[in-house]
Amino acid sequence: MSAMRLIEWSKQTPKRRILLITAIIIIGFNLRPAITSVGPVLGLIRDDIGLSNWSAGLITSLPLLAFAITSPIAAKLGARLGNMSAVLIGLGFLLGGIITRSIPFTFTLFAGTFVVGVGIAIMNVLLPAVVKEKFPYKVGGMTSVYTTSMAVMAATASGLSIPLAKGSGFGWELSLGTWAILAVAGFMIWYKVVQVAKTLPQDELKLKGVHTGKRMWGSSLAWQVTLFMGLQSFVYYTIVSWFPEMLQDFGFSASTAGWMLSYVQFVSIPSTFLAPILAERYSHQKGIVLVFSGCTTVGFLGLLAGGPAPLIFLWITLVGIGAGATISLSLTLLSLRAATTAQAAQLSGMAQSVGYVLAAFGPMVIGLLYDITHTWQAPILTIVAVGIIMSLAGYGAGRDKYVLEEEAAEKA
């Protein structure tokens, strides 16, 4: 696939550019609500079905396990069917999972949740490759666009869960099922994108050079990117799962705690947007990683120390700023550390498969620690420790190198 053909696609008619950008934004809208809408109603689900805290945490961990299992397959699916068609399949899985999960039985709850994860995983893996392929000189800007879209809708979903479940009388089932509407909208517009893409030469739709995948696993830089992604996801999904429960221990009501989770995600939007743009401007991202990772760690240390309400609000704000920036940074690094579209897809598949295995333990481990200690001190200390390790991995991932570059240098 030539660079000229890539540039030719990215500079096509304004109508096609607008369609593709709009479609990418809507995909961003669909990447988190099916997960972030769970946290505020997790207590309702637990009490309604009779789950323990650790098994309730599994509801958030299951999509992450699906990410880990599906991510390596997603890159191959994109290579075989084309990125566009594979993303459409991901949306189909997401829609089916949301509908299944809303059927109020234990089996359908867990099965549907896993299918939701499969659909999101396919889109998670292939969207960085789509961005690198279609916007090769605007990676940071386009990553900002879809990660900000993701953050906006993730925050909205968290805030609306309790009002939909209780205020509107939907119950947790229909509250979670509401997000099927967004998946349908995404499916419809992405279907149009696929139809437009099919008018292009077929070799433009598929990845080449996927044989580099095996070599990727031997790259130390790829492993640092993977650890950074996995550990920031560990922290993020722990926040999504347990932050409302933590805040209730500080005296917030269930409804207010749900909106505070929404606030954490809304306050993350500026840093989510800014981090990829900053990352693209500099040859390395080591300092940027340390600053934003530090925000999350300091925020949780502050929560552990406690204090008056304004101080708690400050700690919550720092957690949100750091969490948003590290998410978008990890996704940006998938493109910046890859020399080609194929490498971006393979690095994305590796980082999200191994990374989300780490992330899946977050809600379960934190829930188990709380079950054992009946206090949030040990869980928060664990999050702080993970944040420090994440900073170290991100510092390495921020080096001005491409994956496989080290291997090539050694052979030379």
Tens-level pLDDT at each residue, the chain (412 residues): 444 444 444 455 677 778 888 999 999 999 989 988 887 888 888 888 877 776 777 787 788 788 888 988 888 888 888 888 899 999 999 999 999 998 878 788 899 999 999 999 999 888 888 887 778 777 788 888 888 898 888 878 877 888 888 877 788 888 899 999 999 999 999 999 888 777 655 444 444 444 455 677 888 899 999 999 999 989 988 887 788 888 888 777 877 887 787 788 788 889 989 999 898 888 788 999 999 999 999 999 998 887 787 888 899 999 999 999 998 899 889 888 888 777 888 888 888 888 778 877 888 888 889 989 988 999 999 999 999 999 999 999 999 888 877 555 545 4
Is residue 384 within 8 Å of 301, Cβ to Cβ? yes
The tokens describing 387, both together, are 């944040």
Q: Which own/partner pairs from 301-309 qualify as long-range (CB within 8 Å, at least 24 positions apart)? A: 301/384, 303/246, 303/250, 303/380, 304/377, 304/380, 304/381, 304/384, 306/250
Phi-psi region of 207 (alpha: psi -120 to 50; beta: other; left: phi over 0): beta
Name the CA dihedral angle for 57, 111, 328, 86, rounded to a multiple of 10 degrees: 170
Instruction: Please give the Cα distance from 148 to 330 (Å, whole number).
Output: 14
> Which pLDDT does position 214 carry in this prediction?
62
Neighbour tally for 389: CB within 10 Å: 14
Is residue 246 within 8 Å of 252, Cβ to Cβ? no
pTM: predicted TM-score of the whole model, two decimal places: 0.78
- Quickly tell me which residue has 């607008």 as its tokens: 18
End-to-end CA distance of the chain: 26
Instruction: Please give the Cα distance from 106 to 93 (Å, whole number).
Output: 19
156-180 burial string, b = 16+ CB within 10 Å, else e? bbbbbbbebbbeeebbbbebbbbbb
Is residue 408 within 8 Å of 298, Cβ to Cβ? no
Write out pLDDT tens, residues 14-63: 777 788 889 999 999 999 899 888 878 888 888 888 777 767 777 877 88
Is residue 84 within 8 Å of 197, Cβ to Cβ? yes
The tokens describing 238, both together, are 């722990």
